[in-house]
Chain A
Amino acid sequence: MTQAAVDATESLLDVERLRADFPALAQTVNGRPLVYLDNAATTQKPISVIEAVSRFYREDNANVHRAIYELGERATRAYEGARGKVADLIGAPERSIVFTSGTTESINLVAYAWGRHNLGPGDEIVITAMEHHSNLVPWQLAARDTGATLRHIPLTDDNLLDLEAARTVIGERTKMVALVHKSNVFGVVNPVAEITALAREVGALVLLDAAQSAPHFRVDVQELDCDFLAFSGHKMLGPTGVGVLYGKPELLEAMEPFLGGGEMISSVNLTESTWNEIPWKFEAGTPKIAQAIGLGAAIDYLEEVGIDRVTAYLGQLSDHARQVLSAVPGVTLFTPAVGSAVFLFNLEGIHPHDLAQLLDQEGIAVRAGHHCAQPAMAHLGVAATARASFYIYNTFEEIDRLAEGLNQARRFMSG
């Protein structure tokens, strides 16, 4: 590592101190210190998040909104407090924040509750060729059920969105443009302002899959002017099982419910019901109380570190990764120069599954496969790739260990 890199790291984040907050990082795997580089799949959790979940179960556990006693009031305050933290994080009013189980459910909610009532034959849904399956399959199902047509914006040879093509794909028939904000395969941030402008010209709605962007930089829904935004708690230090759907209040008001049951109703008789106000209209049944509270604690943690510093540090790690990974003989990097924190690559002559197994032996966790984005793999013309993705607790040394691991793997597989 260069001295400049060390200095910059120290001025940005005290990573060593921060790592002490993450119990899972302090372990060895196959006798080597764990190097966890699968953060695009899910991040590790700081003690404050683990404690927030555990404290809820130890001290405040009760169902929310219904109980007229101290514990129930505390649980409700904590749960709604978490909603407030999410709202502040993305610059949205609280009533526009729906807790879901994750990005996948958030997108399905829109594809059902909005899609099934607003789409029909002749209408078009536009996605991109770099979507995660969770922003692809729900729209395939919506198109199948409503007779609408699913179209996609293709990619350029540099693995970027083809904006030229977007101008022709988005047209008068387009009713919904649903796209990934930051790609979980290429690490690039898509030009959502340009795409949104195209959608506005034709009166289409815009949904952003922010599963990777929300953990990496400040996402402000007013600035983005999107209609819907979806993300997951577990990719930004929070617990699994909770995610967020933001929707413009007037759209959420006008939409039909998604799931029916308790909590989401206003009044019920044996033949019909009326709906609760937003956002609770979309939160049928007992919600993800402990998980939402854990997500609130994760947001507190990120705000304390400083989200802009998270972004800057991930940028530094990425510059270092680009440099050392490109220097490994036989590495093909698919992440474009503008990509960050997510590095997609292959090592010549070694299948990514073998590579992941060999790296695991060195305690290094990377992902191998299609990363739930088979159309993107088809664009690259490969069946599988390896992916290393970083978060705030990763170090320059860990990236060096990855590069060393790749060199070892090459020597190992040549016998």
Chain B
Amino acid sequence: MTELRDLYQQLILDHNQHPRNFGVLEGADLMARGNNPLCGDQLDLYVALEDDSIKDIRFEGSGCAIFKSSTSIMTTVVKGKTRGEALEIFERFHRLATTGEVDSAEMVKLAALASVYKYPVRVKCALLAWRTLETALQEQGEIVSTE
């Protein structure tokens, strides 16, 4: 199993066991729900805005370690960012998760997920949180499905 350490890095296991920003956010301005119907991953994402910035972000949900850690890391990365900045990070993360390319030093935490591209069926686990965030920020508030 040790060969899988590239996918399940220490940081991933840590966020899986101790997810950051976990729980309901009272008084959220935006909320979106995401799911992966085929594997049953489920996510409720809450965002509080101040002007155009993400003042606070929290999540609840259940799913695999890749999903949970990716969501947890995302909340730590986008907190304090403007909507535009957050969406721009998503674009770069999307490239990272599908090609393994880490294009800047800012991406250090997210780089823990850089091996996901080698496991195509797991890419959707890593992307669900970001797709759901995108929906929340665009204030569509619909159910996001990555299938």
Query: Do A and B belong to a common assembly?
Result: yes
Which single member of B4, B17, B39, B122 contacts A384 (CB below 8 Å)?
Answer: B39
Bound CA span A350–B16, Å: 10
Give how many B residues have a beta carbon under 8 Å from the other chain's beta carbons: 25
Which single member of B3, B38, B42, B64 contacts A354 (CB below 8 Å)?
Answer: B64
- Cβ-closest chain B residue relative to A415: B13
Given A30-B3, A361-B1: A415 touches B10 (CB 8 Å cut-off)? yes
Which single member of A357, A362, A412, A414 contacts B119 (CB below 8 Å)?
Answer: A357
Which single member of B1, B17, B64 contacts A409 (CB below 8 Å)?
Answer: B1
Q: From residue B68, how far is it (CB to closest CB) to chain A in Å? A: 8
Given A353-B125, A369-B40, A408-B1: A413 touches B13 (CB 8 Å cut-off)? yes
Q: Does B40 lie within 8 Å of A383, measured CB to CB?
A: yes
- Cβ-closest chain A residue relative to B36: A353
For residues 343 through 367 of chain A, which have their beta carbon under 8 Å from a beta carbon of chain B?
A: 349-354, 357-358, 361-362
Given A357-B119, A413-B65: A370 touches B3 (CB 8 Å cut-off)? no
Q: Does A369 lie within 8 Å of B39, measured CB to CB?
A: yes
Interface centre among B14, B40, B41 (most CB of A within 10 A): B40
Q: Does B4 lie within 8 Å of A351, measured CB to CB?
A: no
- Determine the chain B residues whose CB is within 8 A of the CB of A354 once the complex forms: 8, 64-66
Given A361-B1, A383-B42, A409-B1: A351 touches B122 (CB 8 Å cut-off)? no
Bound CA span A408–B1, Å: 8
- Cβ-closest chain A residue relative to B10: A415
Given A383-B62, A413-B65: A357 touches B4 (CB 8 Å cut-off)? yes
Q: In this assembly, does B63 line the interface, its C-beta being within 8 Å of a C-beta of chain A? A: yes
- Cβ-closest chain A residue relative to B5: A412
For residues 1 through 47 of chain B, which have their beta carbon under 8 Å from a beta carbon of chain A?
A: 1-4, 7-8, 10, 13-14, 16-17, 38-42
For residues 372 through 409 of chain A, which have their beta carbon under 8 Å from a beta carbon of chain B?
A: 377, 383-384, 408-409
For residues 286 through 300 of chain A, which have their beta carbon under 8 Å from a beta carbon of chain B?
A: none
- Cβ-closest chain A residue relative to B66: A354
Interface centre among A354, A408, A409 (most CB of B within 10 A): A354
- Determine the chain B residues whose CB is within 8 A of the CB of A412 once the complex forms: 1-2, 4, 8
- Cβ-closest chain B residue relative to A374: B40
Bound CA span A95–B100, Å: 59
Given A369-B40, A383-B62: A361 touches B4 (CB 8 Å cut-off)? yes
Which single member of A353, A361, A370, A414 contacts B64 (CB below 8 Å)?
Answer: A353
Q: From residue B101, how far is it (CB to closest CB) to chain A in Å? A: 23
Given A357-B119, A383-B40: A351 touches B1 (CB 8 Å cut-off)? no
For residues 120 through 147 of chain B, which have their beta carbon under 8 Å from a beta carbon of chain A?
A: 122, 125
- Cβ-closest chain B residue relative to A352: B64
Q: Does B38 lie within 8 Å of A369, measured CB to CB?
A: yes
Q: Does B42 lie within 8 Å of A351, measured CB to CB?
A: no
- Cβ-closest chain A residue relative to B35: A383
- Determine the chain B residues whose CB is within 8 A of the CB of A30 once the complex forms: 3
Given A413-B13, A413-B65, A415-B13: A353 touches B39 (CB 8 Å cut-off)? yes
- Determine the chain B residues whose CB is within 8 A of the CB of A361 once the complex forms: 1, 3-4
Q: From residue A367, how far is it (CB to closest CB) to chain B in Å? A: 11
- Cβ-closest chain B residue relative to A353: B64
Given A351-B65, A354-B64, A357-B122: A384 touches B40 (CB 8 Å cut-off)? yes
- Determine the chain A residues whose CB is within 8 A of the CB of B66 once the complex forms: 354
- Cβ-closest chain B residue relative to A362: B1
- Cβ-closest chain B residue relative to A356: B64
Q: From residue B15, how far is it (CB to closest CB) to chain A in Å? A: 12
Q: From residue A360, how far is it (CB to closest CB) to chain B in Å? A: 9
- Determine the chain A residues whose CB is within 8 A of the CB of B39 once the complex forms: 353, 368-369, 384
Bound CA span A30–B7, Å: 15
- Determine the chain A residues whose CB is within 8 A of the CB of B68 once the complex forms: 351
- Determine the chain A residues whose CB is within 8 A of the CB of B62 once the complex forms: 351, 383
- Cβ-closest chain A residue relative to B9: A415
- Determine the chain A residues whose CB is within 8 A of the CB of B7 once the complex forms: 357
Nearest first, the 6 A-B pairs at minimum CB distance are A383-B40, A351-B64, A353-B64, A384-B40, A354-B65, A412-B1
Interface positions of B (Cβ within 8 A of A): 1-4, 7-8, 10, 13-14, 16-17, 38-42, 62-66, 68, 119, 122, 125
8 intermolecular pairs with C-beta atoms under 8 Å apart: A351-B68, A353-B63, A358-B1, A361-B4, A383-B40, A383-B42, A412-B4, A415-B10
Known: A412-B1, A413-B8, A413-B65. 17 other contacts (CB 8 A): A30-B3, A349-B17, A351-B63, A351-B65, A352-B64, A354-B8, A354-B65, A357-B122, A358-B1, A369-B38, A377-B40, A383-B41, A383-B63, A384-B39, A413-B16, A414-B13, A415-B14
